[in-house]
Amino acid sequence: VAAARGGGGVAWLGAAAIAACVLACGDDRAVDVPAGGALTVFDRSSNAFSLPAPGLAGTDFDRHVQGDAAFDQTFVTGDAPVGGGLGPLFNNTSCVACHNRDGRGLAAISPDRASSVALVRVSLPDGEPGAPGGPVPLPEVGTQLQDHAVFGQQPEARIELTWALLDGAYADGEPFQLRLPGLDVELAGGAPLPPGTMTSLRQPPAVFGLGLLEAIPDDALLAAADPDDADGDGISGRVNQVWDGLAQQTRIGRFGAKANTASVREQVAGAYFHDMGITTPLVPGDDGAAPDLPGDDVEATAFYVATLGVPARLALSPEAARGELLFEQMGCASCHTPVQYSGDHELALLRDQTFAPYTDLLLHDMGDALADGRPDFEADGREWRTPPLWGLGLVQTVLPGAGYLHDGRARTPAEAILWHGGEADAAAEHFRTASAAERAALLAFLAAL
Amino acid sequence: LLKESCMKPLPSLAPLSISLVATCLGLAAAACGGDSGDGDDGFAEPAVVEDFADQVVVPTYELLAERTALLDVAVEALAEEPTPVGLTAAQDAWVAMREPWEQSESFLFGPVDAEGWDPAMDSWPLNTNDLEAVLESDDELTQAYVAALPETQKGFHAVEFLLWGEDGAKTSDEITPRELEYLGALTDELVSVTDQLATSWTEAYQGGASYRERFATAGADGNTAYPSLEAAVQEILVGMSGICDEVANGKIAGPFDARDPNLVESQYNFNSLIDFADNIRGVRNAYTGSMPLAGTEGASVSAYVAARDPELDEHVRAHIDEAIAAIGAIPSPFRDAILDEANDDVIIAAQEAIRHLQETIDGELTTLVLGS
Contact present, A98 and A108 (Cβ < 8 Å): no
Closest chain B residue to A343, measured at CA: B12
Q: How far is CA A134 from the centre of its chain?
A: 19
In a mutagenesis test of the A interface, which of B152, B154, B212, B240 is the best target, namely the one with the most A β-carbons within 10 Å? B152
φ/ψ region of B330 (left if φ > 0, alpha if ψ in -120 to 50, else beta) reads beta
CA angle (B9 as vertex; B4, B11 as ends), nearest 5: 155
**Is A320 in Cβ contact with B13 (below 8 Å)?**
no
Residues 353-412 of A with CB under 8 A from B: 354, 393, 396-397, 399-402, 412
Residues of chain A with C-beta less than 8 angstroms from the C-beta of B18: 333, 337-339
**Is B226 in Cβ contact with A397 (below 8 Å)?**
yes
Residues of chain A with C-beta less than 8 angstroms from the C-beta of B249: 65
**Is A316 in Cβ contact with B36 (below 8 Å)?**
yes
Could you report the per-residue pLDDT of A4-55, keeping only the tens digit for each? 343 333 333 333 333 343 333 333 323 479 999 999 999 999 999 999 999 9
**Is B235 in Cβ contact with A396 (below 8 Å)?**
no
> Nearest by CB to B133, which of A97, A117, A151?
A151
pLDDT of amino acid A11: 33
Residues of chain A with C-beta less than 8 angstroms from the C-beta of B189: none
Closest chain A residue to B224, measured at CA: A396
Closest chain B residue to A14, measured at CA: B23
Instruction: Compute the nearest-CA separation of A276 from chain B (Å).
Output: 12
CA angle (A170 as vertex; A167, A176 as ends), nearest 5: 35
Could you report the per-residue pLDDT of A257-274, keeping only the tens digit for each? 999 999 999 999 999 999
Name the residue type at position B285. N
Contact present, B67 and B102 (Cβ < 8 Å): no
Residues 2-41 of A with CB under 8 A from B: 13, 17-18, 20-21, 24-25, 28-34, 37, 40
pLDDT of amino acid A2: 39
Is residue B46 pLDDT above 90, yes or no? yes
> Nearest by CB to B25, which of A40, A152, A324?
A324
Residues in contact with A258: Cβ distance below 8 Å, sequence separation at least 6, in sequence order: A240, A363, A376, A377, A379, A383, A384, A385
Rounded to an integer, what distance in angstroms lies between the CA atom of residue B32 and that of residue A447? 18
Closest chain A residue to B114, measured at CA: A399
Residues 210-269 of A with CB under 8 A from B: 220, 223-224
Q: Is A193 helix (H, G, I), strand (E, B) or coil?
A: coil
Average pLDDT of the residues in A51-80: 93
Rounded to an integer, what distance in angstroms lies between the CA atom of residue B238 and that of residue A44? 10
Closest chain A residue to B211, measured at CA: A400
Which of A410-419, B40-49, B302-311 shows the lowest mean pLDDT across its residues?
B40-49
Residues of chain B with C-beta less than 8 angstroms from the C-beta of A360: none
Which of the four pLDDT bands, split at 50, 70 and 90, describes residue B27?
very low
pLDDT of amino acid A25: 37
pLDDT of amino acid A285: 83
Helix B272-288 and helix B84-104, axial crossing angle in degrees, nearest 10: 40
**Is A113 in Cβ contact with B127 (below 8 Å)?**
no
Could you report the per-residue pLDDT of B71-100, keeping only the tens digit for each? 999 999 999 999 999 999 999 999 999 999
Q: How far is CA A177 from the centre of its chain?
A: 24
Which of the four pLDDT bands, split at 50, 70 and 90, describes residue A175?
very high
Rounded to an integer, what distance in angstroms lies between the CA atom of residue A372 and that of residue A419? 13
> Nearest by CB to A30, which of B5, B226, B231?
B5
pLDDT of amino acid A288: 83
pLDDT of amino acid B14: 31
**Is B28 in Cβ contact with A32 (below 8 Å)?**
yes
pLDDT of amino acid A17: 39
Closest chain A residue to B124, measured at CA: A74
> Nearest by CB to B130, which of A77, A112, A339?
A77
pTM for the structure as a whole: 0.90
**Is B130 in Cβ contact with A43 (below 8 Å)?**
no
Complex prediction ipTM? 0.88
**Is B36 in Cβ contact with A315 (below 8 Å)?**
yes
φ/ψ (deg, to 5) at A265: -60, -45
In a mutagenesis test of the B interface, which of A339, A360, A415, A442 is the best target, namely the one with the most B β-carbons within 10 Å? A339
Could you report the per-residue pLDDT of A341-352, keeping only the tens digit for each? 999 999 999 999
Which of the four pLDDT bands, split at 50, 70 and 90, describes residue B41?
low
Q: Is A197 helix (H, G, I), strand (E, B) or coil?
A: coil
Average pLDDT of the residues in B10-30: 34
The answer, yes or no, to whether the previous bond of B333 is cis (omega within 30 of 0) is yes
What is the 3-class SS of A33-70, one letter each residue?
A: CCCCHHHEECCCCCCCCCCECCCCCHHHHHHHHHHHHH
Is residue A246 pLDDT above 50, yes or no? yes
Rounded to an integer, what distance in angstroms lies between the CA atom of residue B116 and that of residue B196? 12
Is residue B336 pLDDT above 80, yes or no? yes
A197 touches chain B (CB under 8 A): no
Average pLDDT of the residues in B264-275: 94
Rounded to an integer, what distance in angstroms lies between the CA atom of residue A87 and that of residue A149? 6
**HSE of A117 in the Cβ direction (CA atoms, 13 Å)?**
23
Which of the four pLDDT bands, split at 50, 70 and 90, describes residue B128?
confident
Could you report the per-residue pLDDT of A399-409, keeping only the tens digit for each? 999 999 999 99
Residues of chain B with C-beta less than 8 angstroms from the C-beta of A54: none
Residues 112-151 of A with CB under 8 A from B: 112-115, 117, 148, 150-151
Instruction: Compute the nearest-CA separation of A248 from chain B (Å).
Output: 32
**Is B242 in Cβ contact with A77 (below 8 Å)?**
no
pLDDT of amino acid A129: 97
Instruction: Compute the nearest-CA separation of B38 from chain A (Å).
Output: 10
Rounded to an integer, what distance in angstroms lies between the CA atom of residue A420 and that of residue A427? 8
% of chain A exceeding 70 in pLDDT? 93
Closest chain A residue to B3, measured at CA: A315
Q: Taking the CB of residue A108, how many other CB atoms lie within 10 A of it? A: 20
Which of the four pLDDT bands, split at 50, 70 and 90, describes residue B9?
very low
Instruction: Give the closest residue to B285 by CA, choosing from B108, B56, B45, B50.
Output: B56
Residues of chain B with C-beta less than 8 angstroms from the C-beta of A30: 5-6, 8, 28-29, 31-32
Could you report the per-residue pLDDT of B228-259, keeping only the tens digit for each? 999 999 999 999 999 999 999 999 999 999 99
A55 touches chain B (CB under 8 A): no
Residues of chain A with C-beta less than 8 angstroms from the C-beta of B10: 31-33, 339, 354
Chain pair A-B, CB pairs under 8 angstroms: 235
Average pLDDT of the residues in B341-353: 98
DSSP class of B40: T
Residues of chain A with C-beta less than 8 angstroms from the C-beta of B217: none
Average pLDDT of the residues in A59-74: 95
DSSP class of A377: T
Could you report the per-residue pLDDT of A353-372, keeping only the tens digit for each? 999 999 999 999 999 999 99
Q: What is the CA radius of gyration of chain A?
A: 22
Closest chain A residue to B5, measured at CA: A30
pLDDT of amino acid A20: 40
pLDDT of amino acid B10: 31
φ/ψ (deg, to 5) at A224: -80, -20
Is residue A58 pLDDT above 80, yes or no? yes
Which of the four pLDDT bands, split at 50, 70 and 90, describes residue B19?
very low
Mean confidence (pLDDT) of chain A: 92
A97 touches chain B (CB under 8 A): yes
> Nearest by CB to B32, which of A30, A77, A323?
A30
Instruction: Compute the nearest-CA separation of A213 from chain B (Å).
Output: 16
